[in-house]
Amino acid sequence: MKRDTETRVKRRMAMSVCVYVLCFLFLLAVIFVMLIVNDPSAWTQYFIDHISEVLLVTVSVFFLVVIIFFYFFFEDREMLVKTRNTLLIFSLLIVSTIICYLFGRFINNYTRPFALFALLTLFLLNRRHAIFLNFIFTFLIFVIDVYTNAYDTGRLVEEVYSTLMLGFVSGTLAVFFAGSVKTRAGLIFTGVILALPTSLVVALLNLSVIQSDWGLYLANIGYRMLGSIISAVLALALMPIFEVVFNRLTLFRLRELTSTNAPLLARLKTDAPGTFNHSLIVAQLSEACAVAIGENAELARAAAYYHDVGKLKQPDCFTENQTGYNLPNALTPELSADIIRSHAKDGYDLLQANHLPKQIADVALQHHGTLPIKFFYEKALRISGGDANIRDYSYFGPTPQTRIAAIVMIADGAEAATRALPDHSPDKVEKTVRSIIEERMDLGQFADCDITMRDLTTIKQTLVDALSSVHHHRVEYPSIRFNRGGESVQEEKDDETHD
Ligand SMILES: [Fe+2]
Ligand SMILES: [Fe+2]
């Protein structure tokens, strides 16, 4: 079994290396097109006439690509194992390089959106990768500049050198400035803020231009300011394409998915209002738990919003949506259990069909793990005189594979169990949450995810605090009535205060 897994990982790694080599060749081809369109000679003649440049560019790009490979090999090997990640990295590099090249060729070199690559990488991968890859991207642009525009158009060395500085400054500052951005408007604002330091770089590197041409000096600064804002606008425009094509989850996409106007949530609100309200509370609890153990709070919240969408198939079969008639009570325990346990798989299928991110669909599938549906199992035992197989009354699984899935599983169970409590004192809530976690541990529900005992203790305390405040004791409102003169005519409780 272990050998099978190792063989599979090795095969996937070999596949990824092949894809990596193909991506390198494609990147090189794109760069050569940029070199060749700048030269009036025939394409084949170009390689003969500029063989030394061709070799230098090939070797430079090869080393940059090898450095990226080693970076991921030692820092985040998972990125290399998945072919889709390799394609994403090279797509970002190629698209950003082409856009920078086109801006430089047809508008102005200082308008080039140098921060575009860093911003996209920041939101589609992460901050650490964005900072590193931005250095590689900047050097790539520098190589292209040196071997294309620079000597063909006779541009100043300062201009090529400033490309290098602008790439480092724009990209690195963009990562820092946009690191805490949570809205699309905030991203545009990052572009505006970024315009200041990057135009300062241009102002300082172009001091020699002041003597010869004041107008050009000021125009270069203006072009650079525009370039920073264009970086943010383009990042905003291109991000949804990368999100969908590579099925990546960005903060923006998560925010959109958790809007109550999102199609599936809107359906849940109208067709299964009880489930919708339950999901809102589970989302609130999951988010708090994720923050407490250092997990992705936005993802936990989104996953919890969608964890029960499978109930949309037959909303009336679930107690929270019933107003009187209880459908499962009219069916055999086996059939009832079958309907109930199917909602995890139905939710997964529905989310996949609606192209929601796999991470969210996986949580819907795993949020009950392989837990038994005790109510119907007990009923079946009672009716059959003890002849019931627990497997027929248990969820299909799999058990939670991630810490987020484990959080949603616990928050879901804790919410449902405490809602039914007649007494919501902290002691009772603590006892209930503890039993929910212990029961899941005893049934091996956390065996496939890397959640620790410390995490579970933190989650328990977070849930107790949150649920105690959700169900905190409310004093009864005094039943006072007033007559038309504003005088109290009935007063049963007048000595208590409102909460
Ligand atoms: Fe559920
Ligand atoms: Fe639920």
pLDDT at 155: 55
Dihedral through CA 74, CA 77, CA 80, CA 85, nearest 10? -110
Residues 6+ apart with CB under 8 A from 246: 84, 87, 88, 91, 124
Give distance in angstroms: CA of 447 to centre of ligand 1. 20
Q: How confident is the model at residue 485 (pLDDT cuts 50, 70, 90)?
A: low
Greatest distance between any 2 Cα atoms in the chain: 104
Give distance in angstroms: CA of 117 to centre of ligand 2. 40
Dihedral through CA 265, CA 269, CA 274, CA 276, nearest 10? 20
Give distance in angstroms: CA of 453 to centre of ligand 2. 23
Cβ–Cβ under 8 Å, residues 35 and 45: no
Q: How confident is the model at residue 471 (pLDDT cuts 50, 70, 90)?
A: low
Cβ–Cβ under 8 Å, residues 230 and 190: no
Give distance in angstroms: CA of 473 to centre of ligand 2. 24
pLDDT at 394: 92
Give distance in angstroms: CA of 369 to centre of ligand 1. 10
Judged against a pLDDT cut of 70, whether residue 481 lies above it is answered with no
pLDDT at 472: 60
Q: Per-residue pLDDT tens for 58-96?
A: 999 999 999 999 999 999 888 888 888 999 999 999 999
Give distance in angstroms: CA of 416 to centre of ligand 1. 10
Ligand nearest to the CA of 364: 1
* CB under 5 Å of ion ligand 2: residues: 308, 412
Give distance in angstroms: CA of 381 to centre of ligand 2. 25
Give distance in angstroms: CA of 291 to centre of ligand 1. 22
Ligand nearest to the CA of 417: 2
Give distance in angstroms: CA of 374 to centre of ligand 2. 15
Give distance in angstroms: CA of 344 to centre of ligand 1. 6
Q: Per-residue pLDDT tens for 196-212?
A: 999 898 888 877 777 77
Give distance in angstroms: CA of 211 to centre of ligand 2. 71
How far is it, in rounded angstroms, from Cα 19 to Cα 13? 10
pLDDT at 214: 81
Give distance in angstroms: CA of 323 to centre of ligand 1. 19
What domains are there in the chain, each with its CATH number? 2-248 (1.10.1760.20), 256-470 (1.10.3210)
Share of the chain above pLDDT 90, in %: 52
Phi-psi region of 415 (alpha: psi -120 to 50; beta: other; left: phi over 0): alpha
Give distance in angstroms: CA of 383 to centre of ligand 1. 26
Q: Per-residue pLDDT tens for 103-162?
A: 988 888 889 999 999 999 999 999 999 999 999 999 999 888 887 654 445 555 667 777
Give distance in angstroms: CA of 306 to centre of ligand 1. 10
pLDDT mean across residues, the chain: 86
Ligand nearest to the CA of 279: 2
Judged against a pLDDT cut of 60, whether residue 468 lies above it is answered with yes
pLDDT at 280: 95
Cβ–Cβ under 8 Å, residues 271 and 297: no
Judged against a pLDDT cut of 70, whether residue 365 lies above it is answered with yes
* Mean pLDDT comparison of 119-123, 334-338, 379-383, highest-scoring range: 119-123
Give distance in angstroms: CA of 297 to centre of ligand 2. 18
Placement of tokens 């809530």 in the chain: 429
Peptide bond into 197 cis (omega under 30): no
Give distance in angstroms: CA of 225 to centre of ligand 1. 51
Q: How confident is the model at residue 246 (pLDDT cuts 50, 70, 90)?
A: confident
Cβ–Cβ under 8 Å, residues 316 and 330: no
Judged against a pLDDT cut of 70, whether residue 482 lies above it is answered with no
Ligand nearest to the CA of 283: 2
Ligand nearest to the CA of 344: 1
* Mean pLDDT comparison of 51-55, 274-278, 470-474, highest-scoring range: 274-278
Give distance in angstroms: CA of 279 to centre of ligand 2. 6
Ligand nearest to the CA of 395: 1
Give distance in angstroms: CA of 109 to centre of ligand 1. 55
How far is it, in rounded angstroms, from Cα 36 to Cα 30? 10
Give distance in angstroms: CA of 323 to centre of ligand 2. 18
Q: How confident is the model at residue 496 (pLDDT cuts 50, 70, 90)?
A: very low
pLDDT at 495: 39
pLDDT at 329: 67
Judged against a pLDDT cut of 90, whether residue 185 lies above it is answered with no
Give distance in angstroms: CA of 474 to centre of ligand 2. 25
Burial class (CB in 10 A: 0-12, 13-18, 19+), 174: buried
Q: How confident is the model at residue 24 (pLDDT cuts 50, 70, 90)?
A: very high
pLDDT at 494: 40
* Mean pLDDT comparison of 7-16, 45-54, 215-224, highest-scoring range: 215-224
Judged against a pLDDT cut of 50, whether residue 52 lies above it is answered with yes
Give distance in angstroms: CA of 466 to centre of ligand 2. 17
Give distance in angstroms: CA of 275 to centre of ligand 1. 9
Sequence length of the chain is: 499
Angle at 125 between CA 121 and CA 131, to 5 degrees: 55
pLDDT at 499: 35
Ligand nearest to the CA of 346: 1
**Rg of the chain, C-alpha, whole Å:** 30
Give distance in angstroms: CA of 170 to centre of ligand 2. 45
Q: Per-residue pLDDT tens for 303-323?
A: 999 999 999 998 888 888 877
Give distance in angstroms: CA of 425 to centre of ligand 2. 23
